[in-house]
Structure formats: structure tokens, C-alpha cells
Structure 1
Amino acid sequence: MSGTTPNATAAATADVLIVGYGPVGQLLALLMADRGRTVTVVERWPQAYPMPRAVAFDGEGARTLTAAGIGGLIGKIGEPSGEYLWQNAEGLQLLHIDGSERKLAGWPESTSMYQPLLEEELQARGARLEQITVHRGHEVVRIAQRPESVEVTAVDREGRERVFAASWVVGCDGANSFVRGETGSAFSDLGFSHDWLVCDVVHHDGREFTPNNLQICDPARPRTSVSAGPGNRRYEFMRTAGETIEGLNTEESSWRLLELFGVSPENSTLRRHHVYSFKAGCAEQWHRGRLVLAGDAAHIMPPFAGQGMSSGFRDAGALAWRLDALLAGRAGTELLDDYQDERRTHVKHAITMSVNLGRIICQTDPKAAADRDLVLRAAAERAAAGGAGPQQRSPLQPLTKGFLRRGANGKPAKPAGALSPQAPVARAGETGLFDSVVGLGFVLLTSLDPAGLLDEAEAGFLADLGAHVVRVLPSGTDPAAAGASDVVDVDDVYLPFLAVAKADTVLIRPDFYVYGAATGRADANALVGEVRAALSGARVPVTA
């Protein structure tokens, strides 16, 4: 819709206006504010939703949350998820996923968390930043794109209209996104829909769970028991043939099914119960003019791979540095075309794996379930013997599209598109994870002497970009001997990473993905030169 109301109350123009203030909108607001950008948030609900929906984020999500300033609070809101075990109805193991304590991103591969606490901390930090202004209880009813800005009209709880203006609008407003409707994007249904009763429980006895996360693939009643953060437990039960949503979504039904896990009113408190339809879908178009989508507004997936919230966090990380570049006049909307191509391709892999896992879990035909069990049991035995098996599969993959260095064949030149590792590094007087020691933003990581590595133009561009040029020294080097641009590779991670890449220099994007790699001084200058060409262009007019 377009147009404004003459007597509507107007607001000053912000750099970015975010519609929706759930976890993805909260994270994006912090990432933009930390870049010095002004952010207006318009949220339809007057209060934050007090109950959990998601129960986990991955290591990359934890890394991005740390970049947003709440890494030190992750231990308060979450706990390492630990192992994830699938069993059949007879209790035989079908699949085992090892939730290692620390992986590539420097955090546990998965963190189980209590979502209201996460949102509380994100909002608290946002409230301390003067760049962020939040308007709760305002529902967006119109959006009008102008040549240099967007006008957003919202109605408060008393029916009063207010007009907000921003250079860019990001829809983080969920699966029924108003902003998505304004882009004109179709939303592709990816062919998965099952109803599950979700029960959030607090146990009185402080019990421990082994495994911490359990999926029971019982064709009579597929069900789940997983951590929902410290002191909280999530149980899920699939609706089966002959049951209605109304009949399933009752306290009586919840307690009856919870008995399958030994949970009763005598030993536990049922915080809430709700029937959700687990579905999968993806927007065809993620931006139009000055409107952009992120999170559930752009994609939804069943929870079986634990990638719903994490994918939204990935959107926020990929979008924040691009919007910052657009606001700085460094590039045109081709960066948003890149965002759409990059994130849509990447998230569809996660959606596909989530759907495939869901089809395995949601099998209710006894004969098909028995055949499934045979296949998974055989695969698990092969994996235990050192062969390939389902344990090696991942809902994630390297980026294959987007802002990446490409080879002569037009495909990303490895390790372009890979998530960069994060491990402990040290320099004089400081030891910690790479991001905290080196800093955030673009990073040129090299094993070469940074003095004289780059030509004046390329060095000046990186300085203007606020990038960090860092030389990695071998493990065992005395940190006191490290120069101002050096770090010691404490756990021997970064130099092997460069060796595997057959490179001595890599350029890492602000969202931790590798843009590209180089070997030798000339190639390092060419690598930086490519980014300089992409991010030093004239502003391109934006058309809706």
C-alpha cells in the first residue's frame, strides 16, 4: 500500500527501520547500532512474548550474538546442547549426533536456550543504545517507497496513525510478514506440514537427562524431549490420525502424553502447551527497492535440524554489513541482490535437510517405519566402523553464491564461501577468541609480513573500511614478541587453515565468511582490489 495520512504524526528519518522485534529484529538492530546507524523499530505487540518458541542456536549464531555484545551472557540464557540421539519405538539407536563442546565458530556446536531470557538480554542492550528507538504497540498498515527513503505508516492501540521514515526497511515480522506482502514476493510452500503439540515444562526434581536431546521415531506417536535452556525442558508430540488440533491442544492431553516421559503434575510444572504446524517455505524475492526481508519473513522450516533461529541470525549478519555499505554510499543495490541470492540458496539447503529429517521422524506407517529403521541402523553401524553415515551430514554448507571471490569458471574459488574458524589467539597482554582480540569487521588474515604487503591504494582502502590486517604467528611463539598487527595461533588452527586453502592470505567478511584467498603479494593486492572495486562505486539509484 502507499500514501500517507495528512494528520499522522511524523518521525525523523532513520537509517534503518525494522518491522518486528523478535530475536532476528533485535539482533539486526544491535548490529546496525554498533556501526553507528540509527534504527527505528516498529513492533505490533505492546509487550514481548513471554514464552519460548525456538530452543537452540548454533555456534555461528553464538558468534554473531557475541558480535552484538551479549556473548558474556550466553551462559546465563543457555547451556551446551550436548548429544542428540534418535531411537526407534523399541529404544534402538537410529542416529547419534555428537554435540561437541567447541567447534569451528569457537562456541558449542549447539546451545540450548530459554528464548525469553535471550530476548530480554537483547532488548536490554538495545535499550542502552541511543541509536535504537523502539515503538511497541504499533501495527504497520502502509509502506510507501520514495526515491531516497521509505515512509511507513503504523497504527497504535488507540487507532492513531504515525508515519516513520527510513532509508531502508527490513521486514523481520515473521511468517505472516506484512513487509513481504509489500515486496510482492511469492512464498513457495516446500511441501511439508505436520501438527505437533509443544509442551514447555519445568521439573521440580532437577533431573538430568541422558541423552540431553532425544527423538523417538515411534510410528504410533513420534515424540521429542530436548533441553530448552537451564532448568527448562521441551516435549513435543506429533498429532496422529483421528486426532483434532482442538482435542490435542488441552492440558489434559498434554499431561497424558507427558506420561510417556515420566512427567506428571506431581514432579513438574507445565508452563504452556500449544499446537504448532511445522511447515517449510521460502520467499522467492527477498528485497524490492528499499524493502528487505530477514528471518521467518523470508523462510520457515521445521525444527528438526535446529536451524530456524540460527538461519535468521545468519540473515542479520549477512545483511548488517551490506546495509552499512549502502548507507556509506559504497555500493548500490547489487549488494542486496547478492544478499538474496546468497542467503536464499544457503537457507534452502537447511530447509531441505530439515524437511528430510522431518519425513523420517514423522513416519507413521509401521511397515515404512520398520524399513526406515533397517536403513538407519545399517548406516549407523557403517559410521561406527569408520565409514560414511548420516552422522557426517550437516544442515549447513559453504556459501555458493553472493559476495565471494570467483575463479575462471565463475564458481567461488575455495575457500571462498567457507565459514572462517574462531580459536584462541594471543598478543602481548591479551589472550582470547579471535574476534575479541582482533576486532570485528573485514579482516585480512595472513602469514606474511603485513608491512609492505599491500600497495598504498589497497592499504588505504582497508584502513578507510576499518578493516584489520593481521599476521598469524606459529603456536608457541612468545606473545610478547608479537607486533601490533600480529597474533599467536595458540591452538594451531589458523596456519593449518591457510595451508589447507593453499594460500597465505584470506580476506574475511564481517559476517565471518571468507571472501577469498590469495598467494603472494600480487595476488593479495588483487584480492583486496576486487573488494575495493565492489565497495567503492558510485551510489546506484534505487527503484521500487
Structure 2
Amino acid sequence: MTDKNSFDAEIGIIGYGPTGVSAANFLGAAGISTLAIERDKDIYSRARAITVNDWTMRIYQSVGLDDALKQGMDVTHSLRWIDYHGNELARLGFPPSDMGHARAYSIYQPEMEKTLRAGAERFSDHVKVRFGAEVTNVDQDAEGVTLEITDCNTGATETKRVRYVLACDGGSSATRDNLGIRLLGDTLKTRWIVIDARVKRWWPNRHVLTFWSDKERPVVDVALSMGNHRWEMPLGPEDKDSDFQTHDQIWNLLGTMGVTHEHVELHQHAFYNHHIRHAERWREGRVFLLGDAGHLMPPWAGAGMQSGVRDAQNLSWKLAGVLKGTLPESILDTYEVERAPDVERFTQIAVQLGRIIKQELTEEELAAMQPPPDAEPELPPLLQPPVIAAGWVSPGNAQAVGQFLPQPRAASSTGELGLLDHFLGDGFTILGADCDPSEAMTAEEKQGWEALGAQFLALRSADQHSQSDTDVIDIDGTLIAWLKAHGADVIALRPDRFIAAASGNLAVPA
């Protein structure tokens, strides 16, 4: 019998794909004991995700993995839409990002997961991984969760006791089914084929992420990193998976885009359907659904895997605070409140991009997408920064609250240069623009943030003397200008770099 008053780990992670292994890194860095259970020891060989952006890379920067990950990534050059007559319909370049990283990177998912697993191994004192096993039952009570774990080779079972569970076991999540949580939405009927290849010889504009726009055969044509390439295209109404089992049959598809044996060596292919689905709720007691276990979207925005990574970061710092006794358990209720709108935003962007690629938009819809001639240039929705409209943020009308803080170059008072987050640490930070933020707060506000272990830092202009050893220098002046444009001299930053409170109401969120 398992003693319900003792625990084998604080957190149990079911599934060790990109979402699960990311959570292991975040929890390990926070010193939280974690047990991950994964059926397959080998990393899945097929590259499913194709991209990460500046927000995701900044998340990995928080656990010191950004440089290692970039070794297996390429900066994405641009996007274009073309037709089969060679006409370029539209092109989208990537302007410089204000988050400290390139706007977008192409990846090779197996290599990325390899780096993430190596990252989690840094925290082996806290993070344990059980390969070759699966969770076959989840039984929770008021104090914790008992996991029944079955060895995939022997069938032997054992139980482990944890306080909370992160279900990262994918779109067909057995945990979600075990909890009786329904998956709402639709699975589209059209069958798609994914073709992966290794590049042998360059062809024109191979580095540009290309969408072949066509009503019958739209194609995603994308350069993955490390010399890999990917095509995704729909099968016709009369086509079957069995019609495309041999390389000869697949070459017929690639030939329509001018790709031959001279250009690539075929590696593997697979078939799938697009999903627009989400779980009816993302939490059941002490069990949380993350990534594909909680939501599935079409691939057009490249945000499926990344949404799981963002889920993991959002929930991990909150769980760490709850387990350490600095944050109330009620903060866990803000997980879905904060993440669901962002997932829905990217889902709708993906749906709309899919309609463009498949030439489904009417002339009126296309016209509505064009900005007025005298309008200020604006980032397209795909590139706009995230924002939190509701959740763990202080109420009020401050424009800065809920915004994602830019990350420019900065310096320490001793002249060390780096990206801003390097000087902010990994907890809560109260930041003042050309002022000591502690002097701008009431005693109650200051005490509230001190109880969370927050540090108080002054952001100084580069043309001023620093006044304290803890001052941070705004090298280019862009961050002080950003704060003033958002009506804030002082902000309270969460560990994930969203602004929780700002001038006018600097109280710790309830």
C-alpha cells in the first residue's frame, strides 16, 4: 500500500516529448523534485514541428538552453506565397525582434529534443525519468496523486505518489480520457502527407519558407535545419495512403514543384489529419493538461509545439511558488485563464493562414486584410507579441499590465554586457525607469513583493552615472522609452517576463 502522506516526487510528468521535457527543465531549474514517465527511450525520429520563434527562444534562455538549441537551428529568412505558374503572390520578411532573438528559427525536432533532454540531465538531483513505462491509472485525493505505472516489457506495475501531475501525453492523451475530459472541436477530413528529405543539391530559393497556394494541391515547402527539408500536402479526394507507399509514387508529387533525385534524398513520410480541437477543461483537481493533450491546432502558424512549451513555463513557475509556499494554491486556477486565449489566438491565425494557402478567401475578405493606405505599419498577427488580458495580474487601467516586456541589450553597473534577462535573475523583479522602484511603492506593496523574494532594480540611462551596484543600464535607451510609452515608471515583472503590476497599482495580484 502507498503511504498517502509520503511522496516520491512533488511533480509527475506523463510524457517526455517537447512539452514534457521542457517542463522538466523548468521545474528542475526551480529545484522541484520531478518524476517523468515515458514509454519510448528513443526520441521519435520524425520531425513534426518545424519552427520556434523569439518568444519560445526567450523561454529557453531562462534555463540557459538558448545557445545550445541554436546550434541545431537556422534563422528563418522569410515567407512567401507562390502559385504553380511561378508567380509570387506575397512575401513576408521578418523585421528585427525586440526580444533578444531572431523572429523565427527553422528546427529539426529530433535534434531539438536531444538538446532538451541533455538540458534536463543538468538537474538529475531533482529530475528523474522512467523510460519504458506508461501510466495506466491516475488516482487523486485532497493531498496528492497516485500514479499506477506499468512496465512496457514485463507488464509489472508499481505506484508512485506525487503532489501534482502534468499530462503531456499528446493528442491521444490516455490521461485526459482517464479523467473523463472531452476533446471538443473538429478533425478535418482531408488527409495530408508529410515528406521529409535530406538535401543533396541546392535549388532556387530553397531557404525561403514557401506556401504553394492552390485550391487543389496547396503545399508547405520548408527548409528544416541541419540540411533537412519538408513538404506537407493534401491528398486528393480519391487518394488513399496506400497510393503513396513507394518513393517512386512520392517523386511524382515532388516533381510538380521541380524537385528531383538530384536535389534530395527521401528520408521518410507519414500521413495525418488537421485538428481544431481543445479539451473542455485543462485541469481536473491536481492534474493539468498541457500541449496537445489540452489543445490541437492546424500547423499553418507553426505554434502547436510552441504552445505546449509556453503551457509548461506558465504552469511551472506557478507550481514552484505554490510548492515553496510563496504563492497561493489559487494561482494554479490562472493557468487556463492565461494560456487558453493565446492558444485560441494562434489557432485562428493558423486557420486563416490555411484559408489563404488553399485560396479559400473571397475578394471581400482579401480586401479587408489590406491596411488603409495612410495606416501606420503594423506587425502581422503572427508576429505580434503575446499579452495577458486576465489572470495573475493586478487590476487597473495601466497600459503596461499584461504586456510582455521587451528584452534589449543591457549592462550591469560594472560594465558587463548582455541581454536584459541576464541581469534580472529568474524570479520576480520590480523595475524602475530612472528611479529606485522601492521608493515609488507603499509599504504594503513593497512588503508583498518582498514576501515573494522579488528584487528591486533601477533601470538607468546609458548617459547617466549608475547609483547602485544593482543598477541595470539601458544601453540603447529603448526600454525606458517603451516603459514611458506604456505609462509606467515602475513595473512588477513575473518570472515569465509578463508585467503583473505597474505604476498606479503595484500591489501583488490577488
TM-score (norm: length of structure 2): 0.91
From the superposition, tell whether residues 37 and 176 of structure 1 become closer, same or farther in structure 2 (CA, over 3 Å). same
Residues 276/188 of structure 1: CA separation in 2 closer, same or farther (3 Å cut): same
Taking structure 1 as reference, are residues 334 and 91 closer, same or farther at Cα in structure 2, changes over 3 Å only?
farther
Q: Which residue of the other structure, out of 469, 472, 475, is the alignment partner of 2:459?
A: 472
**CA RMSD across the alignment:** 2.7
Aligned to 1:485: 470
Partner of 1:155: 150
| Pairing of 1:316-465 with structure 2 (within 5 A) | 316-363=312-359, 376=366, 387=375, 392-394=380-382, 397-407=386-396, 413-427=398-412, 428-447=414-433, 448-450=435-437, 452-454=439-441, 458-465=445-452
* Equivalent of 1:59 in 54, 63, 78: 54
Aligned residues: 504
Report the Cα distance in structure 2 between the residues aligned to 1:517 and 1:249, rounded to whole angstroms: 58
Q: Does 1:279 align with 2:275?
A: yes
With 501-510 and 244-253 compared, the bigger mean Cα shift is at 244-253
Partner of 1:517: 502
Distance in 1 (CA, whole Å) between partners of 2:489 and 2:378 is: 34
AA in 1 matched with 2:101: W
The structure 2 residue matched to 1:140, chosen from 113, 135, 143, is 135
- For residue 505 of structure 1, what is the amino acid of its counterpart? V
State how far apart, in whole Å, the 2-side matches of 1:360 and 1:198 are: 20
Deviations, residues 11-37 of structure 1 (Å, cap 9, x unaligned): 952111100001111111111111110
Q: CA deviation at 1:223?
A: 0.9
- How far is the alpha carbon of 1:208 from its aligned partner? 6.4
Residue in structure 1 matched with residue 42 of structure 2 by the alignment: 47
With over 3 angstroms needed to count, the CA separation of the structure-2 counterparts of 1:400 and 1:452, relative to structure 1, is: closer
Alpha carbons of structure 1 residues 387 and 251: separation in structure 2 relative to 1, 3 Å? farther
**Cα distance in 2 for residues equivalent to 1:390 and 1:256:** 41
Q: 2: CA distance between counterparts of 1:107 and 1:57?
A: 11
The farther-off stretch of 450-459 and 290-299 is: 450-459
Alignment partner of 1:38 is 2:23:
no
SS at match of 1:421: coil
Hey, what does 1:125 align to over in structure 2? 119
**Contact persistence 1:350–1:395 (CA under 8 A):** no
Give the Cα separation in 2 of the matches to 1:268 and 1:467: 53
The Cα of 1:52 is off from its aligned counterpart by 1.0
1:402 partner amino acid: G
In the TM superposition, residue 255 of structure 1 has moved relative to its aligned partner by 1.6
Distance (whole Å) between structure 2 residues aligned to residue 420 and residue 391 of structure 1: 17
| Structure 2: distance between partners of 1:510 and 1:450 | 18
Name the counterpart of 1:506: 491
Q: What SS class does the counterpart of residue 418 from structure 2 fall into?
A: strand
Write out aligned runs for 1:518-533 (5 A): 518=503, 523=504, 526-527=505-506, 529-531=507-509
Unaligned runs of 5+ in 2: none
Change (3 A) 1:463 1:299: same
C-alpha spacing 1:269/1:419, structure 2 compared with 1 (3 Å): same
Deviations 1:241-281 (A, max 9, x none): 21112323543332211122332233321111111212111
Q: Secondary structure at the match of 1:530?
A: coil
Any idea what the Cα deviations from partners look like across 1:146-183, whole Å, max 9, x if unmatched? Answer: 22111101111210112111110000110011222233
Q: How far apart in 1 are the matches of 2:66 and 2:374?
A: 36
Q: CA deviation at 1:43?
A: 0.8
Q: Is the 8 A contact 2:198 2:227 kept in 1?
A: yes
Contact 2:400 / 2:488 at 8 angstroms: preserved in 1? no
Residues 92, 272 of structure 1: CA spacing in aligned structure 2 closer, same or farther, 3 A cutoff? same
Task: Confirm or deny that 1:215 pairs with 2:211.
Answer: yes
TM-score (norm: length of structure 1): 0.86
1:118-158 CA distance string (max 9 Å, x none): 11111112123221100011111111102211110111121
Q: Structure 2 residue aligned with 1:225, among 221, 227, 238? A: 221
When residues 405 and 192 of structure 1 are mapped into structure 2, their CA distance, relative to the original with a 3 A threshold, is: farther
Distance, in Å, in 1 between the alignment partners of 2:320 and 2:307 is 20
**Structure 1: distance between partners of 2:236 and 2:388:** 38
Amino acid at match of 1:503: A
The 1:221/1:391 distance shift into structure 2, 3 A limit, reads farther
Distance apart, 1:340 and its partner CA? 1.2
| Structure 1 residues 354 and 436: alpha-carbon distance in aligned structure 2, compared to 1, 3 A threshold | same
Q: Which amino acid aligns with 2:390?
A: K
Q: Does the 8 Å contact 1:216/1:223 carry over to 2?
A: yes
Partners of 1:466 and 1:194 in 2: how far apart? 52
**8 Å Cα contact 2:398-2:487 kept in structure 1:** no
SS of the counterpart of 1:122? Answer: helix
C-alpha spacing 1:237/1:250, structure 2 compared with 1 (3 Å)? farther
Secondary structure (helix, strand or coil) at the match of 2:354 reads: helix
Q: Aligned with 2:68: secondary structure?
A: helix
Query: Which AA in structure 2 matches 1:314?
Result: R
Residue 90 in 1 paired to residue 85 in 2? yes
Whether the 8 Å contact between 1:17 and 1:41 is mirrored in structure 2 is yes
What displacement does 1:49 show? 1.0
Q: CA deviation at 1:458?
A: 4.3
1:73 aligned to which of 63, 68, 75: 68
What percentage of residue pairs aligned between the two structures are identical? 28
Q: CA deviation at 1:395?
A: 6.9
The Cα of 1:483 is off from its aligned counterpart by: 2.4
